[in-house]
Amino acid sequence: MRENKKKVKSYAEKMKIPFPTLLDTNAAVSIRYNVKGVPAHFLIDKQGFLLGRAVGARNWQSKPIQELMRKLIDKK
């Protein structure tokens, strides 16, 4: 999938996404993680292990999502 860097940056800023975003310009990540929809979000630890995934828009500022992400991160 061809992604436009400016559009992705604008979306991330608009949605106040508090973590880095990835441009999958050659679809390698989409293939590896079997992405079927966009946006797709993956929580990956420093060793490259998938801790969680979500497909579709999310409110990353919501308390329940932040608590879930913290649990996934702390679990590792």
CB atoms within 10 A of CB 76: 10
At residue 19, does pLDDT exceed 60?
yes
pLDDT on residue 1 = 52
Contact 43, 53 (CB under 8 A): yes
Structural domains of the chain ordered from first start: 5-75 (3.40.30.10)
For 22-70, the pLDDT digits (tens) are 788 888 888 888 887 778 888 888 788 888 888 888 888 889 988 887 8
| CA atoms of 64 and 19, how far apart (whole Å) | 17
Residue 40's φ and ψ, nearest 5 degrees, are -120, 135
Q: What pTM was computed for the model? A: 0.52
